[in-house]
Structure 1
Amino acid sequence: MPTQTQPPRQTIHIPKLPSQKPSPPWHTHLTIDLLSTVLRRSLFHPGFAWMIPLSLRAVTVPYEFLSMRLSIAYASLLTLLYILSYFNERVAFGTAREMDWEEEVVVITGGAGGLGALVAGFYGRRGVRVAVLDVKGVDEGEEEDDGDVKYYRCDVGDAEQVEACARQIREDLGIPTILINNAAIINAKSILNLRPEEVEKTFRVNLLSHFHTIQTFLPGMLEEQRGTIVTVASVLGHIGCANLADYTASKAGLLAMHASLRAELHNSQHPGAPNIKTVLVSPGQLDTPLFAGMQTPSNFLAPVVQPVELAKEIVRMVDSGSSGEVMMPLYARWIPLHGVLPVGVQKVIRGWSRADEAMLSLTRKKGL
């Protein structure tokens, strides 16, 4: 009797990331973000707050007692804020769309390494069809197409290359319904030292590529009447930074472009427009090769964001089928308010953050 052989196991290639650094001391994990998460899930959560008056009532504390009244008032306030927050999200971003992962096709720009590779890995392991667009190839000697994650060598700053890849993706995987615009480069040079071609390349990769991909893939999403577009910007787009003029200007352009995209979809008469969701990602300093060597002024107040944590948040938001914003770490949520502060206060904050000094030291290390 012939023996049965097992079918060859299909593997999904996940690009290798740089080797992990030695584990930092335990106290570096104690950050304001961690404390905020703990408080939001305990003392600042309505369910937890209502346990206080219920516990007091369980030991027969009268309603007239001050402790009982204060606990009820506190729980009621948190409940009201929770309800208002829900309606705020609903008014701002509308209802979530249904996610059918057997029909979804994900396109990720700059996905051959770093944050993009992590997001591609998350979806690839789940069997979701993923197309990665990057000027870099996968590891030499390995096939570019591996399992449900397919790699396309493409300069997303070139509209013709994006259109050519889009046609190939349609043939290979189907109509893309999730677009994650992640590709970015950095020069870390003074304005006086930036060459015109460097500025142009930064804008092509960091900003114009978003126009190319949206103009190429959005029509298909409208045709399918479902889709999600993720814009990876930066908090530096709100405040600028010394020796990053081209980078921060391109990221500021993304903030305006994303707002305009949301407005156009909201006012569009196309029947598929309401089901096109948009997600804005504005992280602080990431622990990636782009910003290797930069020192955060305070690990407690301004921790460096680990790419895997940001990737999880992006995947969670996309999976929810909702529009929204991903801002990490905690201080990133308050950065937009920086521009409305008095100029003197802004200067004090910039001096305390030492962001400009950090970039200057990074530039010196690179000899730029």
Structure 2
Amino acid sequence: MKAKTSLSLPEKPWHHYLTIDLILTVLNYTIFHPFVACIIPLCLRAQLTPYEHPAMRLTIAWAFILTVVSVVGLMSDRFAYGAPREVDLSEEVIVVTGGARGLGALIAEVYGMRGANVAVIDVKKFGEDEAEEKGIAYYQCDVGDRKQVEEVGKRIVEDLGPPTILINNAGIVHGKPLLELSPEEIESTFRINTLSHFHTLQTFLPGMLSAGYGTIVTVSSVLAHLGAANLSDYTSSKSALLALHASLRAELALLPQGPNINTILVTPGQLCTPMFSGVKTPSNFFAPIVGPVDVAKEIIRMVDRGESGEIAVPLYARWIRLLGVMPVGLQSMIRAWSGVDRAMVHRAGNGNTDS
């Protein structure tokens, strides 16, 4: 006898999933795509539309503008980041910090399924059976502790080889007002969110420079550009990563093998992970909550292509820096409308890991 299956209705209406990011994605694959734009005047010409016709002139001009913008963008990226490197996963050793769950776990498990050499560094302990099933080597370690990172680094080199891809993803949040944060909580935030990057970079970067290639992914947050009430320790620690990323790129440019090291800065918006559970976005259309899968997909795509660059999702995360050059009165109005300073008021802080 077959068991009955029940189909549950969607929890949210269809228009909940209609966002400005979805609309832009559709446009980027249609009228904003240079190839599609070039096809339109060709189709008009196939219908014997004269060149003097307004529609023909308009579509040719549109195709020309999009092509120029696309070429200039490619040239800008090449000038800023150099040529991409060839990535062969069979030759790479990938280290993911905070890879026990969430974003870090998705990235680690995808590479594990693809047969890459993956090492996850996390405070959580995993059994050998689970590690073997996922094809991932797990190392229990507090990334905020320099000695533990160095010891684990030696073990990874012995077990898998020198790491060539480092994804610094570990992080925590307490979600408390400044005056309610204990000194221990402030210290733990900076140890995990900021100092861990220094520990892993100083441990694994020398091996990349010796090999002559590598990739470093720095996971920050869009809040690093904004700051937010009840997140003073978190936003400060993530903001420090922006300066660290910029300084790292500057130093690598001065080293003989430095330009061969790819650097990727990730500044996502609110992720639907346990870290920010209970936090509601003021506008799902303009500021949708991002799935870890979407961010993981972008990170994996850029790492696989051997590219350097920045990943900012959703759409508003790409333009958030413009807020800083607006008149302060307008900035205050936008902050009040967005609700960024009220989002954490009703959330109890519990130090969830950003993985």
- TM-score after normalising by structure 2: 0.93
CA gap of 1:159–1:146, structure 2 versus 1, over 3 A, is farther
1:81-105: CA deviation from partner (whole Å, max 9, x where unpaired): 0111111111111100111211100
What one-letter code is carried by the residue in structure 2 that aligns with 1:236?
L
SS state at 2:31 partner: coil
Deviation at 1:364, TM superposition (A): 8.9
SS state at 1:133 partner: strand
Distance 1:165 1:204 in 2: 17
Corresponding residue for 1:288? 273
Distance 2:131 2:117 in 1: 14
Which of 219, 235, 243 does residue 256 from structure 1 map onto? Answer: 243
User: Runs of 5+ in structure 1 lacking a partner?
Assistant: 1-21
The alignment yields a C-alpha RMSD, in angstroms, of 1.6
CA gap of 1:99–1:69, structure 2 versus 1, over 3 A, is same
Which of 291, 298, 316 does residue 331 from structure 1 map onto? Answer: 316
2:52 counterpart of 1:85: no
- Contact residue 145 and residue 151 of structure 1 kept, 8 A: no
2:304 counterpart of 1:319: yes
Corresponding residue for 1:183? 170
- Contact residue 144 and residue 152 of structure 1 kept, 8 A: no
- The percentage of aligned residue pairs carrying the same residue is 58
Count matched residues.
342
2:156 counterpart of 1:138: no
CA gap of 1:365–1:358, structure 2 versus 1, over 3 A, is farther
Corresponding residue for 1:11? none
What does 1:116-131 correspond to in 2, within 5 Å? 116-131=104-119
> Does 1 or 2 have the higher relative contact order (CA < 8 Å, sep 6+)?
2
SS state at 1:102 partner: helix
1:182-239: CA deviation from partner (whole Å, max 9, x where unpaired): 0000000000000011101100000000000000000000010010000000000001
Distance 1:364 1:227 in 2: 36
What does 1:141-160 correspond to in 2, within 5 Å? 142=129, 144=131, 148-160=135-147
Distance 1:148 1:210 in 2: 25
Which of 31, 38, 47 does residue 50 from structure 1 map onto? Answer: 38
Distance 2:133 2:59 in 1: 57
Which of 308, 328, 331 does residue 343 from structure 1 map onto? Answer: 328
Distance 1:147 1:302 in 2: 34
Which of 252, 259, 278 does residue 274 from structure 1 map onto? Answer: 259
- Contact residue 287 and residue 314 of structure 2 kept, 8 A: yes
2:86 counterpart of 1:101: no
Which of 228, 234, 238 does residue 241 from structure 1 map onto? Answer: 228
Corresponding residue for 1:34? 22
SS state at 1:106 partner: strand
User: Runs of 5+ in structure 2 lacking a partner?
Assistant: 1-9
Corresponding residue for 1:17? none
1:47-80: CA deviation from partner (whole Å, max 9, x where unpaired): 1111221111111111112221111111101111
What one-letter code is carried by the residue in structure 1 that aligns with 2:248?
L
- TM-score after normalising by structure 1: 0.90
